[in-house]
């Protein structure tokens, strides 16, 4: 059986170099040369003794100061709910691109420190994503705009209000002619109402929306299919077959946290549960979604259109015939089509935003023809206040500026000077407007071009509301007063009304008061309940019947391909190796660039490429070969030297480092947006290159005919993918579903008898609790939410690109991605790796000062105040989960950041080792509460930060002494295995092998 298990993990690799060489890299020689890249140096014996003598003499001096005197400042009148030392949780909601997700915010004495998902919110179910987790750092960001300015000079808010009232007088006279409001996609009902009221008062005014990473194609696709804007929802728990056309389903589609959970529940085979679903993905660039698929097809956008059209025709939809597909694709399509036909009403085809509108329309048509509507697919009214073709809306604004029809432009958040498509020349056009007002969190690229800059309030400082993917409305309440005097969009718009000093609270409350009617007391009850719950009851939209306009789709489909993004016909894989399809994607970490100044997100290794602090032009291995591109690994471990390329598209060019990504379709190049900021702040300015410089209104997500040329230079990218090389060991395992059923049936208990192996290490007894963790690789979607949740919970510092280049990142939890198979379309598995908390821990026995010790409950405790920084423990850790503070990485000086830290976790200093603690502060809190109640801790009472954030429920923590706990049951599963079991470390963190459910009809080729 061990042999059999071994096979499950064979053939995995992490970097292309590793996949191509037979012997594990690096060999002995290069290891030693890597360790001393600059040679041993010229320290003589005398120098050495001198330094050591001085160190010894000075070593004791550090302890000679007494602790500083502290003052205690109690309240004058203590608020009733606040108990010092106990956190309070408030429900609120974060809105990104007009979509709200319900949150619970942990506050300590009025300071928000940690974001959790709201279990009663339909778009969260208790989970969060990396952006929401990191938003707490955004709140305390010292680079946020702190003053209101007019032409760069500081002005008081009252002066701005007076200026707006002046403007109002003018607008009343000319009926609002020349007034333009530019916002992102607005999902907030009350803000939408406020804007509509303003437009009613000033009929000459216009409202434009532009969301750089918005849902342009989704809307256009719905309009093409149904003749109206319609919201699509999926019921993945009912789907046996899921087909994702490009990958946002599990990374940024509306409601994706919920979808990830529904999806994951159908992926991990568990006894008694419904069967495992089968997942197909067709992708233009590798994503987390495709990485979890059973079958993945890498196609360029144009190829995808042809493929989906052919699929639609094959499934009997009346469309113009398509040119025949190349044989491998045709074979794939046939197998897929048969599977879909066998699962009418229980399959679902999802088109992601980045696919052209036609693909969306075709997906709607396929779902209808398969009878999936009202089964796995439902349609509702749009959740946006005013769904618009935003590209057209922005073009119209540009045209009006040229025509001199725009006198005043109010930009409510967003950064159009940076994010607007390059062909609109928005920066230059902006200068033509007489009065420009910008509300923004940062004094950014757009603020620099505006007369008035008003600092915006962070969402954790603001009253507002929003709607989730299913229409459920939430009221967003502030959890802290504005730190930097920021104002909300509600307050800014109010200055143009007859009630200039109206607060956002009044606006939001008045809106819902009007909507609810009834008595004041009744409303007060409703208001308090809605604030407490974080959702407004009964606001989800009911599914509605829609009629599909097949002839419109057929008309759009006829001139194939009609992506609207280029004129080149058919596949761009031409003989000219330099002409490629250019694919734009929002960055997985910093999105459209609005999170660029967030160091947590900048340092977050992106899924698959594991790049930090940069974006890159992603190319396939074959394309790289044609262009003569290569990468070279640097001495310092984290550095990968890549070659610079020039990408030229429709007359504009950028220089970018080329990153060779396994699974990227040939003949395409992917550019992530959100980098190359020039006024982001101290963290974000100057990272990466600006992808927006190439993006045009005709090529929002992709465009054909880009020219790529190799330039001379090299560029160092900081990637964590090459850290902690696996040297060909059996760390990650997958099992096909069929085999899993077999092993489930044959599961024998002896494999848990690892404890019978002899060991020289001391034995411990665990009579009380014994904490353990099980991580299900079948569920993990590599979304990174856990990594940021861990960072926020445990006060983990960021180190900067320079240190990541030296493999010194501090993340306690890393997500490794493993590839298997051919580099052009590999199978991918994610593996989150926290501390294993070994029962026979190699780190413990080598510590000379017992700074790492075994707890009575099996935790591998780290005692920072004892640590003297020998790093022996890290050297002896086979899992490489220990992190060392080579420098003073924690910021002890910036006042705002002090408020952000979790008061229950020590802030570490330089020279100290640290690692995952299983969130021991949460264990202790639960233990104390349980002991006060005189009971044992209940299963599921302790959620580690990573577990709580995980949308896919991949991480389970609990007491393994309790046979009934979820974690014990998972550990008894036949798929359960330990990393490097042969070392007899007896890790408490174990893994459940990933499960693949391949279609037997699909050829492996």
Partner 1 sequence: MAQIFHPSTNTISRLSIFGALFLVIGLLWILAAIDRSSYVTEAGVVREQPVPFSHQHHVGGLGIDCRYCHTSVEESSFAGIPATEICMNCHSQIWAASDMLKPVRDSFKTGEPLRWQRVHNLPDFVYFDHSIHVHKGVGCATCHGPVDRMPLMWQAESLQMEWCLGCHRNPAPALRPREFITSMDWRPPAGQEAALARRLAEEYEISSPEVLTSCSTCHR
Residues that bind partner 1 (CB under 8 A): 66-67, 69-78, 83-86, 767-768, 853, 855-857, 859, 861-865, 904-907, 917, 920-921, 923-924, 928, 931-932, 934
Question: Closer CB to partner 1, residue 435 or residue 863?
Answer: 863
Q: Cβ of residue 861: shortest distance to partner 1, in angstroms?
A: 4
The beta-carbon contacts of 838-842 under 8 Å, at least 24 apart in sequence, are: 838/985, 838/986, 838/987, 838/988, 839/755, 839/764, 839/985, 839/986, 839/987, 839/988, 840/759, 840/761, 840/984, 840/985, 840/986, 841/761, 841/985, 842/876, 842/877, 842/878, 842/983, 842/985
Give the rounded distance of the alpha carbon of 5 from its chain centre: 32
Question: Is 578 or 909 the residue whose CB approaches partner 1 more closely?
Answer: 909
To which H or E segment does residue 179 belong?
A: strand 179-183
Q: Which is nearer to partner 1, 38 or 66 (CB)?
A: 66
Dist. CA 280–CA 874, nearest whole Å: 41
**DSSP 3-state of 956:** strand
Tell whether omega for the bond before 188 is within 30 degrees of 0, i.e. cis.
Answer: no
Closest CB 838 distance from partner 1, rounded Å = 15
- Smallest gap from Cβ 887 to partner 1, in A, equals 20
Asked whether 125 and 258 are in contact (CB, 8 A), the reply is yes
Q: Which is closer to partner 1, CB of 579 or CB of 855?
A: 855
Q: How far is the CB of 917 from partner 1 (least distance, A)?
A: 7
The residues near 508 (Cβ < 8 Å, ≥ 6 apart) are 190, 463, 464, 465, 475, 490
> In angstroms, what is the minimal distance from the CB of 958 to partner 1?
17
Residue 625's CB is within 10 A of a number of other CB atoms, namely 14
The nearest distance, CB 364 to partner 1, in angstroms, is: 52
Structure tokens at 778: 């079948």
629 vs 900, which CB is nearer to partner 1? 900
Q: Residue 599: which of 287, 811, 419, 420 has the closest Cα?
A: 811
Closer residue to partner 1 (CB): 532 or 898: 898
CB nearer to partner 1: give 71 or 551.
71
| Pick 653 or 845: Cβ nearer partner 1 | 845
- Count of C-beta atoms within a 10 Å radius of residue 845: 15
Q: At what angle do helices 301-314 and 327-342 cross, to 10 degrees?
A: 50
CB of 82 to partner 1, least distance (A): 9
- By C-beta, is 165 or 855 nearer to partner 1? 855
Q: Angle 448-453-457 (CA atoms, 0-180°, nearest 5)?
A: 125
Q: Which is nearer to partner 1, 76 or 521 (CB)?
A: 76
CB of 181 closer than 8 Å to CB of 196: no
Query: Side by side, which strands form the sheet with 771-776?
Result: 955-959, 771-776, 989-992, 976-977
Report d(CA 792, CA 754) in Å as an integer.
35
How many Å apart are CA 27 and CA 18, to the nearest integer?
11
Residue at token pair 């220089």: 655
- Measured between alpha carbons, how far is 44 from 49 in angstroms, rounded to an integer? 9
Minimum CB distance to partner 1, residue 810 (Å): 17
Closest approach, Cβ 135 to partner 1, in A, equals: 25
Nearer to partner 1, 153 or 932 (CB): 932
Q: How far is the CB of 770 from partner 1 (least distance, A)?
A: 12
d(C-alpha 635, C-alpha 160), whole Å: 55
Count CB-CB contacts under 10 A for residue 762: 9
Q: How far apart are the first and last CA of the chain?
A: 28
The partner residues of 208 in beta bridges, in order of sequence, read 182
Q: Are strands 12-13 and 989-992 parallel, antiparallel or unpaired?
A: unpaired
Q: Which residue has the tokens 């070659």?
A: 643
Cβ neighbours, 10 Å, residue 279: 25
Reference 280, options 246, 233, 236; nearest CA is 246
Q: Closest CB to partner 1 among 23 and 75?
A: 75
b/e burial code for range 98-109 (CB count within 10 A of at least 16 → b) = bbbbbbbbbbbb
Query: Least distance from C-beta 83 to partner 1, angstroms?
Result: 5
Residue 87 beta carbon to partner 1: minimum distance, rounded to whole angstroms? 10
State in angstroms the smallest separation of the CB of 86 from partner 1. 5
Nearer to partner 1, 68 or 559 (CB): 68
Matching residue, tokens 């909507």:
515
DSSP label of 638: S
- Which 3 state secondary structure label does DSSP give 592? coil
Residue 84 or 404 having the CB closest to partner 1: 84
What single DSSP character describes residue 307?
A: H
Closest approach of Cβ 84 to partner 1, in Å?
Answer: 5
Query: Residue 760 contacts by C-beta under 8 Å, 6 or more apart in sequence?
Result: none
- Residue closer to partner 1 by CB (options 50, 866) is 866
**Residue 892 Cβ vs partner 1, minimum distance, rounded to whole Å:** 11
Task: Select 726 or 846, whichever has its Cβ closest to partner 1.
Answer: 846
- Neighbour tally for 313: CB within 10 Å: 18
- Distance, in Å, from the CA atom of 12 to the CA atom of 15, rounded to the nearest integer, reads 10
CB of residue 261 vs partner 1: minimum separation in angstroms? 30
- The span from the CA of 830 to the CA of 608, in Å, is 9
Closest CB to partner 1 among 543 and 911? 911
Cα 262 to Cα 12, 311, 777, 793, distances in angstroms: 28, 26, 16, 26
Q: How far is the CB of 73 from partner 1 (least distance, A)?
A: 5
Cβ-based nearer residue to partner 1, 738 or 856: 856
Cβ proximity of 473 and 539 under 8 Å: yes
> At closest approach, how far in Å is the CB of 759 from partner 1?
20
């Amino acid at each position: 059986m061990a042999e059999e298990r071994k096979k499950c993990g064979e053939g995995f690799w992490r970097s292309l170099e590793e996949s191509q060489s037979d012997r594990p890299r690096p060999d002995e020689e290069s290891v030693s040369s890597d360790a001393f890249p600059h040679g041993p140096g010229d320290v003589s014996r005398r120098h050495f003794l001198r330094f050591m003598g001085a160190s010894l003499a000075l070593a004791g001096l550090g302890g000679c100061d007494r602790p500083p005197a502290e003052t205690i400042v109690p309240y004058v009148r203590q608020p009733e709910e606040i108990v010092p030392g106990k956190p309070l949780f408030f429900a609120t909601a974060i809105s990104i691109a007009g979509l709200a997700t319900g949150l619970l915010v942990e506050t300590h004495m009025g300071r928000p420190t940690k974001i959790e998902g709201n279990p009663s919110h339909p778009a969260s179910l208790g989970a969060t994503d990396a952006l929401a987790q990191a938003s707490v750092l955004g709140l305390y960001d010292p680079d946020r705009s702190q003053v209101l300015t007019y032409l760069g000079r500081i002005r008081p808010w009252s002066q701005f209000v007076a200026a707006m009232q002046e403007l109002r007088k003018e607008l009343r006279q000319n009926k609002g002619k020349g007034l333009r409001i530019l916002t992102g996609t607005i999902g907030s009902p009350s803000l939408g109402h406020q804007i509509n009221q303003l437009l009613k008062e000033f009929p000459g005014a216009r409202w434009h929306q532009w969301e750089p990473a918005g849902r342009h194609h989704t809307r256009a696709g719905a309009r093409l299919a149904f003749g109206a804007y319609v919201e699509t929802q999926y019921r993945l728990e009912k789907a046996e077959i899921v087909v994702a056309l490009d990958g946002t389903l599990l990374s940024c589609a509306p409601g994706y946290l919920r979808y990830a959970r529904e999806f994951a529940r159908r992926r991990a085979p568990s006894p008694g549960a419904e069967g495992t679903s089968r997942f197909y993905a067709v992708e233009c660039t590798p994503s987390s979604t495709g990485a979890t698929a059973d079958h993945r097809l890498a196609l360029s956008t144009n190829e995808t259109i042809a493929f989906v059209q052919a699929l639609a025709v094959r499934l009997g939809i009346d469309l113009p015939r398509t040119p025949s597909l190349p044989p491998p694709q045709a074979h794939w399509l046939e197998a897929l089509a048969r599977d879909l036909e066998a699962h009418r009403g229980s399959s679902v085809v999802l088109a992601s935003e980045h696919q052209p509108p036609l693909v969306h329309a075709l997906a709607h048509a396929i779902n209808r023809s398969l009878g999936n509507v009202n089964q796995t697919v439902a349609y509702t009214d749009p959740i946006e206040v005013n769904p618009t073709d935003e590209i057209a809306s922005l073009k119209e604004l540009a045209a009006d500026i040229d025509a001199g029809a725009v006198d005043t432009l109010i930009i409510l958040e967003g950064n159009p000077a940076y994010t607007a498509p390059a062909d609109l020349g928005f920066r230059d056009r902006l200068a033509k407007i007489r009065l420009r007002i910008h509300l923004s969190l940062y004094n950014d690229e757009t603020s620099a071009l505006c007369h008035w800059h008003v600092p915006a309030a962070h969402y954790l400082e603001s009253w507002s509301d929003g709607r989730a993917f299913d229409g459920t409305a939430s009221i967003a309440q502030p959890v802290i007063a504005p730190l930097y005097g920021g104002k909300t969009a509600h307050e800014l718009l109010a200055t143009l009304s007859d009630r200039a000093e109206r607060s956002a609270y009044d606006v939001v409350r008045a809106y819902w008061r009007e909507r609810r009617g009834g008595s004041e007391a009744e409303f007060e009850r409703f208001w308090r309940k809605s604030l407490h719950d974080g959702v407004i009851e009964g606001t989800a939209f009911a599914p509605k019947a829609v009629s599909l306009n097949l002839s419109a789709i057929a008309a759009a489909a006829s001139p194939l391909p009609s992506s609207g993004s280029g004129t080149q016909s058919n596949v761009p894989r031409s003989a000219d190796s330099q002409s490629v399809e250019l694919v734009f994607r929002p960055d997985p970490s910093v999105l459209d660039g609005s999170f660029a100044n967030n160091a947590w997100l900048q340092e977050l290794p992106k899924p698959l490429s594991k790049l930090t602090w940069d974006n890159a032009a992603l190319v396939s291995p074959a394309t790289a070969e044609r262009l003569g591109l290569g990468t070279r690994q640097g001495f310092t471990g984290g550095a990968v030297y890549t070659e610079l390329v020039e990408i030229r598209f429709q007359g504009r060019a950028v220089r970018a480092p080329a990153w060779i990504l396994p699974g990227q379709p040939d003949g395409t190049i992917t550019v992530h947006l959100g980098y190359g900021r020039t006024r982001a702040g101290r963290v974000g300015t100057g990272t990466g290159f600006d992808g927006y410089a190439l993006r045009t209104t005709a090529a929002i997500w992709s465009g054909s005919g880009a020219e790529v040329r190799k330039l001379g230079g090299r560029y160092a990218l900081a990637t964590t993918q090459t850290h902690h090389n696996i040297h060909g060991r059996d760390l990650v395992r997958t099992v096909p579903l069929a085999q899993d059923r077999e092993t489930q049936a044959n599961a024998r208990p002896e494999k848990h008898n690892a404890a019978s192996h002899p060991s020289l290490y001391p034995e411990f007894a665990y009579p009380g609790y014994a904490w353990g963790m099980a991580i299900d690789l079948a569920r993990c979607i590599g979304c990174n939410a856990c990594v940021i949740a861990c960072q926020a919970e445990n006060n983990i510092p960021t180190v900067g690109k320079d240190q990541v280049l030296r493999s010194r990142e501090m993340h306690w939890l890393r997500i490794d991605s493993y590839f298997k198979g051919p580099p052009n379309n590999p199978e991918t598995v994610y593996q989150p790796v926290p501390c294993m908390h070994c029962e026979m821990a190699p780190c413990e026995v080598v510590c000379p000062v017992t700074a790492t010790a075994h707890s009575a409950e099996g935790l591998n405790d780290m005692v920072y105040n004892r640590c003297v920084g020998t790093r022996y423990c890290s050297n002896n850790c086979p899992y490489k989960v220990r992190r060392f503070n080579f420098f003073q990485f924690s910021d002890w000086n910036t006042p705002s950041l002090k408020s952000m830290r979790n008061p229950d976790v020590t802030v570490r200093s330089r020279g100290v080792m640290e690692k995952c603690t299983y969130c021991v502060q949460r264990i202790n809190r639960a233990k104390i509460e349980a002991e006060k109640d005189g009971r044992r801790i209940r299963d599921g009472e302790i959620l580690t930060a990573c577990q709580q954030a995980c949308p896919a429920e991949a991480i389970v923590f609990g007491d393994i002494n309790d046979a009934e706990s979820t974690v014990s049951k998972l550990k008894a599963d036949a798929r359960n295995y330990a990393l490097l079991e042969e070392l007899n470390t007896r890790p408490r963190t174990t893994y459940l092998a990933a499960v693949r459910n391949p279609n037997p009809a699909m050829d492996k080729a």
